[in-house]
Amino acid sequence: MSHASYARPDRRRPVIGITTQTLHAIQGIPEGLPESWVMNQRYFLPVLDLGALPWMIPLLPDDPETMRGIYEHLDGLLIPGGVDMDPATYGEEVHPLCGRLDPARDAVELQLTRWAVADGKPVLGLCRGEQVINVAMGGSLYQDVGAQFEGAIMHEYYPTKGYSRDHLAHHVDVAPATRLRDLLEHTSVPVNSMHHQAVKRVGDGLVASAFAPDGLIEAVEGTGESFLVGVQWHPEMFEARDPTTRHLFREFVRAAEGFGAAA
């Protein structure tokens, strides 16, 4: 079925902003290339298939007027996975095992998230996106789970290590009486796992809503009424075939549609 078949001609389609990444921040991409902003299309397809309009957001941290102008056109914000956050954003020095950084992306995503939280605009964070939400709200991260989290299981099931991006690495236990429990409709769900950083101190106005078998926080969400959810795994890899995952994206798009209608 084509994406266009999901459009609702009787309603304004909600606009979902999806942030990008600087190309040379990705491992294996050499420095010195012309600046490029990129993002995996997997993050765009779920919201497109659910009737929303995805908007690819450039990284212009030194142009707040333009960033604000883009933000004002959005009904929701989706923050994808990607490289490590700069520990300076949560007041720490860089650990030797911290990976490649993208300061422009950090600055843009943190600002957009804070604007959205202040306005009650829906936000969904995936993997790194969950970490961005947490840091935006004053929380901190483990820079390397294996080195800094006692008793950690393996979380680094990367394609570079021979694992597919949809490899089910472990389950997460979903906390009761949370939005995530309502969205996923299960107390425990299997997830993929492609990260070596994770939430350490939970940010203000957030609660941890899912945990890995080793106790590591795997999801956070806002305590208010607006849609503010971050998960540490990559549900975009399963959205098309998994009804549980599809519900997560559907409710995010629905919240964005409601925000746009109210605005």
Q: How far apart are CA 229 and CA 123, in angstroms?
A: 6
Catalytic residue among 98, 109, 127, 239: 127
Cα Rg, the chain, nearest whole Å:
17
Under the banding of pLDDT at 50, 70 and 90, the label for residue 242 is confident
- The reply to whether 127 belongs to the active site is yes
- For residue range 74-128, list pLDDT tens digits in order: 999 999 999 999 999 999 999 999 999 999 999 999 999 999 999 999 999 999 9
How many Cβ atoms sit within 10 Å of the Cβ of residue 235? 22
pTM for the predicted model, two decimal places: 0.93
Phi/psi class of residue 22: alpha, beta or left (left: φ > 0; alpha: ψ in -120 to 50)?
A: beta
- The reply to whether 234 belongs to the active site is yes
- The reply to whether 98 belongs to the active site is no
Q: What is the pLDDT of residue 36?
A: 87
Q: Which residue has the tokens 């309009």?
A: 53
Q: Which residue has the tokens 């991006």?
A: 165
Alpha-carbon torsion 18, 197, 223, 88, what sign?
negative
Q: Does 32 have pLDDT greater than 90?
A: no
How far apart, in Å, are the Cα atoms of 44 and each of 17, 48, 52?
9, 6, 10
Q: What is the pLDDT of residue 48?
A: 95
Catalytic residue among 170, 234, 239, 251: 234
- For residue range 183-226, list pLDDT tens digits in order: 999 999 999 999 999 999 999 999 999 999 999 999 999 999 99
Catalytic residue among 130, 218, 221, 236: 236
> Could you tell me the domains of the chain?
3-262 (3.40.50.880)
- For residue range 111-124, list pLDDT tens digits in order: 999 999 999 999 99
Beta strands 37-38; 141-142: pairing state: unpaired
Q: How far apart are CA 197 and CA 219, in angstroms?
A: 13
Q: What is the pLDDT of residue 68?
A: 98
